A and B are shown apart, each in its own frame.
Chain A
Amino acid sequence: METATLNNTSPKSNFKSEEYFINMGPQHPATHGVLRLLLTIDGEIIKKVEPDLGYIHRSIEKMCEKDSYQQIVHLTDRMDYLSSHINNEAVCLAVENALELEVPERVQVIRTILGELTRLSSHMLWWGVMGMDVGALTTYFYGFRDREMINDIFEETCGARLTMNYNIPGGLMHDIHPNFVKRVKEFIAHFKTKLPEYDRLLTGNVIFQKRTKGVGILSKEDAINFGASGPVARASGYSCDVRKYHPYSALDKVNFKEALDTAGDSFARYTVRIREMWESLSIIEQLIDNIPEGEHKVATNAVIKLPKGDFYQKVETARGELGVYIISTGTKNPHRVKFRSPGLSNLSLLNHIAVGGKIGDLVATMATIDIVVPDIDR
């Protein structure tokens, strides 16, 4: 009897593991914004990840219903703030398609150049933060250093560094700045020497590869099932680049390769983005020397009224496919606006790929999904 009690209280038999909850966020720096993750963990091993959303919900879709079509554009700046130009473009294209308005070629080319610059700046920030999430602080400074040049280009031409609101239905708010072409060329020359440094600093690093290779594997089927898009889906071998399949603006005039990988792990998502940066550089190079002359906008009515019906436009932001769905009843405000944001679908697969991994790997995996929380909550 005595021995049995002793046995029961001995440290060995009593030391059984138990699952427990911890909160990650909403103010955890590694969640890149106000995202709260409810983790069920067993020691270091993740059993379940439940994202808790809504901390930065601003009801943008509802706000759109009271705004005119010109005013909607600036709200989309605040969704995925790292792709704000591309978001603006999506709304403008939707409105222009509904009005059957043909924008001048000059506008299309400028929009595409600015869109690719936005993608580059977003990927640079992602690269810096990605390094930081796996413990390399230097990348953060290098990423931001190169991004500064793009921000200057935006500030000079559009008037703002992040929330540009440079697109209007019918064209651009003003013409490009006289320095624009010169600055973009300077940037391309500069960044072509810096991008190989990114590889030498981080991509080839053994520690980084060990942290990312074989971690957070997403299969092609799951990528499709979860509705993933953008670099996350392309790293799993799912070819889904909207720029290729439904080219908009001047994207049908340029040659570029869709960055694809089949491994589906964190490292594949990383290399896909690095390759996308090279492609974006080449797109800008093809266009920057032949910006056609012409007007920077076509006149629209001061009060834009869309015809009755529903209109959909999708574009490829830095994170994936952004869809803008407008239902119009023929008045000056939309009846309903729905944004299909890439971030929400990409976040939904986090639980699927993080379960079974370690907490440290969750941070690295999340970095490669490249979450922007205001895009998820809207």
Chain B
Amino acid sequence: MSYFSEIYDGIKTLLTGMSVTGKYFLNSRKGAITQQYPDNRDTLQMFDRFRGEVVMPHDENNEHSCTGCQKCELACPNGSIEIIWDRVVDEETGKKKKIIDQHIYHLGMCTQCGLCVDACPSDAIKWAQNFENSVYDRTQLTRVLNKPGSKVRAGVEE
């Protein structure tokens, strides 16, 4: 007797489960979350807080707002940021002032923790949303964030 009731139970629960899967089988496009990457590259919109890689925005005069304070370098847990800096004499005040020579960012070591962007007092660095970072040679992952010939925007103080 229990043999037959077990068969009955088995078929019943099987059909219950299949009613769930069958519903999705018939409405397969509804509620689908699969994205047709990379075909949807043109329309793919990442969330604006998404942490892809650290970049330093420059304005049209090739100026950024990094003062070379090294707070991001200190905040970084794994040494992904190196600041090479120098002191120059400010023409107006005659005082010595710190400027950056190179803001070096090792994307290959970065854990995308966000501490550097959070630590920067002048919002000189921010997150870019691109995530396609594969390269043929890992040296290409080391980037100099300040563009050649750029300088710090006037009025940004340490």
Partner of A201, one of B21, B47, B127: B21
Measured CB to CB, the closest approach of chain B to A34, in angstroms, equals 20
Is residue A135 within 8 Å, beta carbon to beta carbon, of the partner chain?
no
Measured CB to CB, the closest approach of chain A to B6, in angstroms, equals 7
Q: B112, A163: Cβ atoms under 8 Å?
A: yes
In the complex, which residue of chain A has the Cβ closest to the Cβ of B21? Answer: A138
Q: B13, A177: Cβ atoms under 8 Å?
A: no
Of the stretches A17-25, A150-158, A246-254, the one at the interface is A150-158
Partner of A70, one of B6, B19, B115: B115
| Chain B residue contacts of A74, Cβ below 8 A | 77, 111, 113, 115
| Chain B residue contacts of A173, Cβ below 8 A | 114, 118
Partner of A165, one of B17, B47, B71, B114: B114
Q: Complex Cα distance A174/B49, Å?
A: 10
Is residue A197 within 8 Å, beta carbon to beta carbon, of the partner chain?
yes
> Dominant SS at the B interface?
helix
Measured CB to CB, the closest approach of chain B to A57, in angstroms, equals 18
Of the stretches A203-211, A312-320, A342-350, the one at the interface is A203-211
Measured CB to CB, the closest approach of chain A to B7, in angstroms, equals 10
Q: Which of A146-187 contact B (CB under 8 A)?
A: 148, 152, 155-160, 163, 165, 168, 173-174, 177
Partner of B49, one of A157, A197, A302: A157
Known: A70-B75, A157-B49, A159-B50. Is A204-B13 also a contact (CB below 8 A)?
yes
In the complex, which residue of chain A has the Cβ closest to the Cβ of B23? Answer: A197
Q: Complex Cα distance A163/B50, Å?
A: 12
Q: A155, B33: Cβ atoms under 8 Å?
A: no
Is residue A202 within 8 Å, beta carbon to beta carbon, of the partner chain?
yes
| Chain A residue contacts of B49, Cβ below 8 A | 155-159, 174, 177
Q: Which of A54-106 contact B (CB under 8 A)?
A: 67, 70-71, 74-75
| Chain A residue contacts of B135, Cβ below 8 A | none
| Chain B residue contacts of A200, Cβ below 8 A | 16-17, 19-20
Q: Interface digits, B32-65 against A, CB 8 Å rule (1 contact, 0 not)?
A: 0100000000000001011100000000000000
Q: B114, A159: Cβ atoms under 8 Å?
A: yes
Q: Complex Cα distance A148/B35, Å?
A: 11
Measured CB to CB, the closest approach of chain A to B80, in angstroms, equals 12
Q: Complex Cα distance A197/B18, Å?
A: 11
Is residue B155 within 8 Å, beta carbon to beta carbon, of the partner chain?
no
> Dominant SS at the A interface?
helix
Q: B13, A206: Cβ atoms under 8 Å?
A: yes
Q: Complex Cα distance A159/B117, Å?
A: 12
In the complex, which residue of chain A has the Cβ closest to the Cβ of B118? Answer: A173
In the complex, which residue of chain B has the Cβ closest to the Cβ of A202? Answer: B17
Known: A138-B21, A158-B49, A200-B17. Is A145-B31 also a contact (CB below 8 A)?
yes
Q: Count the A residues whose beta carbon is within 8 Å of the partner chain — how many?
A: 30
Q: A207, B115: Cβ atoms under 8 Å?
A: no
Chain B CB count within 10 A is highest, among A152, A168, A205, A206, for A206
Measured CB to CB, the closest approach of chain A to B71, in angstroms, equals 8
Known: A67-B77, A205-B14. Is A160-B50 also a contact (CB below 8 A)?
yes
| Chain A residue contacts of B13, Cβ below 8 A | 204-206
In the complex, which residue of chain A has the Cβ closest to the Cβ of B71? Answer: A302
Partner of B17, one of A71, A157, A205: A205
Partner of A160, one of B10, B71, B77, B112: B112
Q: B77, A75: Cβ atoms under 8 Å?
A: yes
Q: A148, B33: Cβ atoms under 8 Å?
A: yes
Is residue B158 within 8 Å, beta carbon to beta carbon, of the partner chain?
no
Known: A159-B114, A163-B112. Is A207-B50 also a contact (CB below 8 A)?
no
Is residue B9 within 8 Å, beta carbon to beta carbon, of the partner chain?
yes
| Chain A residue contacts of B115, Cβ below 8 A | 70-71, 74, 165
Task: Kindly list 20 other residue pairs between chains A and B, CB separation below 8 angstroms, not including A70-B75, A177-B49.
Answer: A71-B77, A71-B113, A74-B77, A74-B111, A75-B77, A148-B33, A156-B47, A157-B49, A160-B50, A160-B51, A160-B112, A163-B113, A165-B114, A173-B118, A200-B19, A201-B17, A204-B16, A204-B17, A206-B9, A302-B71
**Which B residues fall within an 8 A CB radius of A?**
6, 9-10, 13-14, 16-17, 19-21, 31, 33, 47, 49-51, 71, 75, 77, 111-115, 118-119, 127
**Which A residues fall within an 8 A CB radius of B?**
67, 70-71, 74-75, 138, 145, 148, 152, 155-160, 163, 165, 168, 173-174, 177, 197, 200-202, 204-207, 302
